[in-house]
Amino acid sequence: MDIVKTRKDLDERLSALRNASKSVGFVPTMGALHEGHLSLIRQARRESDIVVVSVFVNPTQFNDRKDLERYPRNLDEDIALLNTVSCDLLFAPSVEEVYPEPDTREFDFGQLDKVMEGAHRPGHFNGVAQVICRLFDMIGPDKAFFGQKDFQQLVIVRDLVRQLGLGTEIVACPIVREPDGLAMSSRNRLLTEKQRKSAPLIAQTLLESCNFVENNTVRETIDLVKGMVDKSDDFKLEYFQIVDGNTLQPVDNWQESNYIVGCIAVYVGEVRLIDNVVYKFVK
């Protein structure tokens, strides 16, 4: 695996690796890599000739300074993990390399970023869009791989690619879970031992709600999930919403859409975790 930190070195490496017939698969990350990221990289490997991974903690997508400072960073550990999978090129730039001057670009995602993460983390998706544009511009991927855990991000990145007419195909990859159900996340390593023991309740609640939906209304399902999460002193529910998987707008009943997803954000102590479950998907 080649490791590059500057745009100039990236260009050189990419042109050496790429020839007219080779496809580039790209996995953008903020580091603190885990099995979830590795599954994206394996998927990229299956679908591309060259696999590029970026590790960059993007400051413009953090609306909370403390959250940015606390975000786990360990490039040596990331490199060791990347060496266990088949990654051709790691791009680990500095902030100055990605943003030689401040990015003032404003995106319009209509209602997509007015709900859930977007409502609770103002400016977050604008920052994600800024960095994705810059990284895609530098790397020129044929395909880019995103985890379904960040469900709203996936929908918004797809919209970004559509709006800008970018040639990159966005590939969604399933959530990877710990054996106890907890969705893998770089933030999990910030949990205390006690919090780590309670955290799987989030996934267990979503799983239980899947069995519940068949005979109950959307409202009753929301109440069930809220009730289960509220029972634990370790948790503070930020939101649980049942939404249309394309528009991200709340649905009132199960007939309203063919694609229905339940999305949750919970504070476990100071650590904010998100997860989601697909209740209905009819092609």
- In the list 25, 28, 141, 262, the residue contacting ligand PAF (rule: CB under 6 A) is 28
The three-state (H, E, C) secondary structure of the chain, written as one string: CEEECCHHHHHHHHHHHCCCCCCEEEEEECCCCCHHHHHHHHHHHHHCCEEEEEECCCHHHCCCHHHHHHCCCCHHHHHHHHCCCCCCEEECCCHHHHCCCCCCCCCCCCCCCCCHHHHHCCCHHHHHHHHHHHHHHHHCCCEEEEECCCHHHHHHHHHHHHHHCCCCEEEEECCCECCCCCECCHHHHHCCHHHHHHCHHHHHHHHHHHHHHHHCCHHHHHHHHHHHHHCCCCEEEEEEEEEECCCCCECCCCCCCCEEEEEEEEEECCEEEEEEEEEEECC
Of 201-260, which residues contact ligand PAF (CB under 6 A)?
none
Q: Which stretch in 2-10, 13-21, 24-32, 196-204 sits in contact with ligand PAF by CB under 6 A?
A: 24-32
Q: Which stretch in 25-33, 94-102, 164-172, 220-228 sits in contact with ligand PAF by CB under 6 A?
A: 25-33
Catalytic residue among 34, 37, 120, 124: 37
- In the list 24, 29, 45, 184, the residue contacting ligand PAF (rule: CB under 6 A) is 29
Residue 103 touching ligand PAF (CB under 6 A): no
For ligand PAF, give the closer residue by CB, 218 or 265. 265
- In the list 150, 169, 178, 244, the residue contacting ligand PAF (rule: CB under 6 A) is 150
Q: Which stretch in 28-36, 95-103, 112-120, 241-249 sits in contact with ligand PAF by CB under 6 A?
A: 28-36
For ligand PAF, give the closer residue by CB, 30 or 268. 30
- In the list 30, 89, 138, 265, the residue contacting ligand PAF (rule: CB under 6 A) is 30
How far is Cα 61 from Cα 215, in angstroms, rounded to an integer? 40
Q: Which stretch in 26-34, 84-92, 211-219, 242-250 sits in contact with ligand PAF by CB under 6 A?
A: 26-34
The reply to whether 120 belongs to the active site is no
How far is Cα 139 from Cα 25, in angstroms, rounded to an integer? 9
- In the list 39, 43, 48, 58, the residue contacting ligand PAF (rule: CB under 6 A) is 58
Least Å distance between CB 105 and ligand PAF? Answer: 15
- In the list 39, 43, 48, 61, the residue contacting ligand PAF (rule: CB under 6 A) is 61
Q: Which residues are catalytic?
A: 37
